[in-house]
Structure 1
């Protein structure tokens, strides 16, 4: 997976400079199919051979591009966990392949060989009727020489990319429209002055996560968190907020509206008397008892 992830960074990533080096450093260590890596600032500094401020700035730019995600933040001595989301499932083209790994060759790379029917011979045709090879004998064999694409020979000797380089992160047709339940959230963030954020790179699974987070925390709390993040750093894609929203503590409040719960009242125990007070009380009790005995004897 490491080679595939690095191939994706080299050929598909839109980042440049230090953010691209951060992606390459993480891809070099990615050994799982999920392309997740636990890596701290110290290790990134060693790989980039740069200062802490340069590394932190490069990581922030890579996160803002959407091509790097922070799956779990750093806690104590435990490093943060990063993911290359667009490298998940990516496979580099097989060496010597003549086209993309998935799907048929494009129309411009087809040889144009056609067999009209079984009664008319092979009927081999080229992409252009004007390009004909030499005939094999008198009358000709009728087999026309196939011609490769206009830009090169018929058979490629170098592997092609699995897809053209994109101008931005890939999107799906289902995720190009913001769902209705997210309109209030996106609207609050836009009204705060951050209406240039791009939300069209989220897939349906991520919108479902946001829907659950809205139910758990409320629209206003998620919007406030997103605005605070935008004030601290330059953010381009709305996907950046999902990991932070997941870390928000859930506030449980089962008290009915308008009712204030007070703690149950408990009796306060009386303080134990001091030794001197205890002696005085014992002496007083003895004198009272003696007086009662004398009164009882005098009355007889």
Structure 2
């Protein structure tokens, strides 16, 4: 399967530079039909023979293209598991075999030309019993096309769709990351607020985002992201994950907010004057 996956990268991938080498590194190490392989940053550096920072950028570029995804994120010393989704099930096309693998050519493919003697002419005979052509008629080659439809063009230069698939037709281009339905409200809220980031998250990271939406709420997550985006230029949505995890959960249903009163030093919870006098009398 590694050869088929590498053939897909060479012939159908749109990645360039080091990002293309990242895909080739994964394809080279992917032995199974699911085209997955465990690789760490150290191994990527060794295979690409490039600086660590360049390798990290190349992996991010490959992930952003959608031609590389993370099936299992790295945990501790365990490397992440990567996959080439468009190479799954891909089989490189093979050329049609011509003639037998070994041995002399079969007699049915020989012309059977024989010349008994110079006086009798060439004596051309067709060795195959399937030869076509009239036995008598005017001079000429008498060649006939043995096959073809009764009407319409005899030769079809454009392959049919089924033939194109057998020849390894590339999959349609990926227009962007597939966002889970439960995560759409958060993505749409950030986009509407002008926070345009790349949502190239792994499936495990999407599960985390969905859990944070249920725990903390879209409004709190969006407010945090907007504050971070106002302070610095952020390109990837996964930058928000560590901060989102530290946000408090939404208050339980029915929890009332206590009234506030202005005192020196800021706003403090309101205290009933009756309770204060009671304590002053020794209670």
Q: TM-score, normalised by structure 2?
A: 0.51
8 Å CA contact 1:97–1:160 kept in 2: the answer is no
Describe the superposition over 1:31-75 as per-residue Cα deviations: whole angstroms up to 9, x where unpaired. 234333221111111101111111111111111112222333333
Number of residue pairs aligned between Structure 1 and Structure 2 = 204
Matched with 1:219 is: 218
Question: Structure 2 matches for 1:180-191, cutoff 5 A?
Answer: 183-191=184-192
Specify whether residues 71 and 93 from structure 1 end up closer, same or farther in structure 2 by C-alpha distance, changes over 3 A only.
closer
Q: Which residue of 2 aligns with 1:34?
A: 34
Instruction: Please report how far the alpha carbon of residue 95 of structure 1 lies from its aligned counterpart in structure 2 after TM superposition.
Output: 1.6
For residues 69 and 252 of structure 1, do their structure 2 counterparts lie closer, same or farther at Cα, with a shift above 3 Å needed?
A: same
Unaligned runs of 5+ in 2: 98-131, 149-153, 259-283
SS in 1 for 2:5: helix
TM-score calculated relative to the size of structure 1 = 0.49
Aligned Cα root-mean-square deviation (Å): 5.1
The structure having more radius of gyration, on CA atoms, is 1
Q: Which runs of 4+ in 1 moved over 6 A?
A: 139-142, 206-213, 224-229, 249-254
Please say if 1:57 is aligned against 2:63: no
Structure-2 residue corresponding to 1:169: 174
Q: Distance in 2 between matches of 1:27 and 1:161?
A: 20
Asked if the contact 1:63/1:69 (under 8 Å) is kept, the reply is yes
**Which structure would you say has the larger RCO, counting Cα contacts within 8 Å and 6 or more residues apart?**
1
Segments of structure 1 that go 5 or more residues without pairing to the other structure are 99-134, 261-300
**Which residue number corresponds to residue 83 of structure 1?**
83
Partner of 2:113: none
Q: Taking structure 1 as reference, are residues 191 and 26 closer, same or farther at Cα in structure 2, changes over 3 Å only?
A: same
- Tell me, yes or no, if the aligned pair for 2:69 and 2:82 is still in contact at 8 Å: yes
Change (3 A) 1:84 1:248: farther
SS in 1 for 2:82: strand
